[in-house]
Amino acid sequence: MFRPENKIVVENGNDTIFTTYVAMEDLLDKLMLLHYEPEFVKNLKMKPLNRHYFVVQRNPGEQFFMFTSLSAWLIKKLGRSFDEPQEYDDPNATIASILEVIREIGVVVDFPPNKLKQGFGEQVIYVLNQLANAVLQKNNFLWNKPEIVSEQEPEPEIAEDDSELILDRVEEEMAAGSYSEPSDDEAMFRIDDVSKLSNKKDKNQEIVLSNVDSESWRLELERILPQLKVTVRTDGREWRAHLEQMKNHRAGIEEALTTTQSQLDKLQTDISMNLEKIQNREKYMNSHLEPILEQYRQLKDEVSKINDHYKSVSGGVTERTRELTQLTDQLDTVKQQMEERGASMTDGTPLINIKKAVSNIKSEIKEMDIRIGVLQSIYLQSKIRDKRLLDQNLSSPHSNINSYVNLVM
């Protein structure tokens, strides 16, 4: 299959966007070759990609999920195990797993992983292109050169000049019924009279003598001579006109190409030399930066291990911090209770209340004692009175009976 090489020499920083568009179109072509529509879009129920999906920012969350899902699908087609990304997964862990597979297949990654977190851009398209290339290489897919099909040019036909009409041809068309009478608004020569005269001549086979004055005939001829013109309108949709235009345009292109061919050749030579210089410089920089990059990878792995250890340790610290918070709350509660009890012990208000209650009780006791004394004196007086009455009754029984009766009454 033919694949055009889209190489663009970037001279200004503003032109990098065009390389991204071209890379995105190449990625779509590769995905089409890998049958991503029936295997990825329909099976996983994803939306199909458009030509500029990963070039322009639309929805970062959706684009990042699409990038990780597509990367996982391509990694699985490489024969490697890779978990399906979920919406609540850690994006840093997912990106680290994808970049690890990229490095294993021999692709150099010289950009920070945070560039992939945004879900669009040159780095995202680069990673997907490298994965697609690896899958095509595994499937033994080769890009072939274009096959140019030779087409036989049709023999040129001689265009008839429709501007000249012969009276005999008009008579033949009239006889065949293919001639249409022109409209009234067009001043054209009418052939009906000629045909009628010819038919009449064929019938009569006689010489017709005219009795019209030659001078008046000449004047009439001069008057209607401008109207004896047959106008033929050329159709713009006719293929002969288009063919003629194509020939003219081709002649203009060939004439312009002769003047620009040398400039294009020079430009091609300069571009080839610049590309070769860039490739040599890239090889030189890669050869010198490879040890530093390897050291950087090792340090990065160590940092990731330290981060994992820190996360595990920080989990225990969090648990202990929670326990310390609970103990601190309990201590605050105990302190508050102790402060309340100390305040109640040093406060003299209850003692004063007790003293007041005791004084009230004592006053009440005194009143009760007085009442009891009064009652006792009344009781003693009543007993003494009763005793006197009894003694009197014993000394005089009749009077006792009377006093008793009086007492009873």
What residues does each domain of the chain span?
Answer: 13-138, 166-180+189-202+219-229, 238-312, 362-408
Task: Rank 37-46, 115-124, 293-302 by mean pLDDT and report only the highest.
Answer: 293-302
**CA-CA distance, 265 to 273, in Å (whole number)?**
12
**CA-CA distance, 299 to 287, in Å (whole number)?**
20
16 has pLDDT over 60: no
Question: Two tokens at 155?
Answer: 């023999």
- Residue 179 backbone dihedrals phi, psi, to 5 degrees: -90, 135
Higher pLDDT, 231 or 106: 106
Which burial class, exposed, middle or buried, applies to 124 when counting CB atoms under 10 A from its CB (0-12, 13-18, 19+)?
buried
pTM, entire model: 0.36
**pLDDT at residue 28, as a whole number:** 84
pLDDT classification of 160: cutoffs 50, 70, 90: very low
**pLDDT at residue 332, as a whole number:** 92
pLDDT classification of 204: cutoffs 50, 70, 90: very low
**CA-CA distance, 361 to 288, in Å (whole number)?**
107
pLDDT classification of 209: cutoffs 50, 70, 90: low
**pLDDT at residue 237, as a whole number:** 66
In order of 82, 101, 135, 211, 244, the CA distances from 105 in angstroms are 15, 6, 11, 108, 57
Cα of 336 vs its chain's centroid, Å:
57
Which burial class, exposed, middle or buried, applies to 21 when counting CB atoms under 10 A from its CB (0-12, 13-18, 19+)?
middle
**CA-CA distance, 50 to 48, in Å (whole number)?**
7
In order of 153, 243, 244, 362, the CA distances from 255 in angstroms are 22, 18, 17, 139
Rg of the Cα atoms in the chain: 61
pLDDT classification of 9: cutoffs 50, 70, 90: very low
**pLDDT at residue 11, as a whole number:** 38
**pLDDT at residue 299, as a whole number:** 93
Q: Residues 160-195, buried b or exposed e (16+ Cβ, 10 A)?
A: eeeeeeeeeebeeebeeeeeeeeeeeeeebebeeee
**pLDDT at residue 178, as a whole number:** 41
**pLDDT at residue 152, as a whole number:** 57
**pLDDT at residue 77, as a whole number:** 83
**pLDDT at residue 236, as a whole number:** 58
**pLDDT at residue 277, as a whole number:** 92
Structural element, H or E, at residue 138: helix 122-138
**pLDDT at residue 189, as a whole number:** 42
pLDDT classification of 266: cutoffs 50, 70, 90: confident
13 has pLDDT over 50: no
**pLDDT at residue 302, as a whole number:** 92
The amino acid at 238: E
- Summarised one tens digit per residue, pLDDT across range 240-249 is 778 888 999 9
**pLDDT at residue 365, as a whole number:** 94
Average pLDDT over residues 284-313: 88
Following DSSP, what letter does each residue of 241-268 receive, concatenated? HHHHHHHHHHHHHHHHHHHHHHHHHHHH
Question: Two tokens at 66?
Answer: 């699409």
Which burial class, exposed, middle or buried, applies to 125 when counting CB atoms under 10 A from its CB (0-12, 13-18, 19+)?
buried
| Averaged pLDDT score across all residues of the chain | 76
pLDDT classification of 169: cutoffs 50, 70, 90: low
- Summarised one tens digit per residue, pLDDT across range 86-105 is 777 788 888 888 888 888 88
Average pLDDT over residues 367-388: 92
